[in-house]
Structure 1
């Protein structure tokens, strides 16, 4: 049975949202400012990594890392050049 989990963070003035669909074949979709900019499926270790660009000048590359389990999934935003991952807050919708 699959479930959808939603996560969000604001970074450099842009909205980054992730939808994680768990189940037989997990999928992660990333939206930046409401537009789909990336998606990926489960990798062998239960982690999905999706690189995306923020529309800054010049564009900024960030990576969303979704950890699918055990338990509830979680998402982190990893900014290039910044060693601290940022936790993306879960959303109820």
Structure 2
């Protein structure tokens, strides 16, 4: 039996930086985080448990942030978290 792999994309802007997340579901879950188009975080796991990916925004000094990805069940979702800011859902993207 093969499992269907699907890619789900999410985006937000924070402190002048573009943050994009791809959540690939299937047998293994892959979460990839890009900041300003550069890969800054990558995690693989199994199952539908939420995953936290810690990243740094390229500010001066670098600012820590985190992405909380929820691979399932159902439609995946992502939450962006940064110090001093309310956690916020990331917008789904169709690409």
TM-score above 0.5 = yes
Does the 8 Å CA contact 1:66/1:73 hold for their aligned counterparts? yes
User: Number of matched residues?
Assistant: 92
Q: Which runs of 4+ in 1 moved over 3 A?
A: none
Q: Which runs of 5+ in 2 are unaligned?
A: none
For 1:18, the equivalent position in structure 2 comes to: 21
In angstroms, what is the RMSD of aligned CA positions? 1.4
Match of 2:89 among 77, 87, 90: 87
Match of 1:75 among 74, 78, 82: 78
Q: Provide TM-score, normalisation by structure 2.
A: 0.90
Deviation at 1:61, TM superposition (A): 0.4
Q: Deviations over 1:9-56 (max 9, x none)?
A: 000000000000000000000000000011112266611111000011
- Partners of 1:22 and 1:73 lie apart in 2 by 8
- Partners of 2:74 and 2:30 lie apart in 1 by 16
For 2:62, the equivalent position in structure 1 comes to: 59
- Partners of 1:19 and 1:41 lie apart in 2 by 12
Does the 8 Å CA contact 2:30/2:45 hold for their aligned counterparts? yes
Q: Provide TM-score, normalisation by structure 1.
A: 0.92
Which segment is superposed worse, 40-49 or 68-77? Answer: 40-49
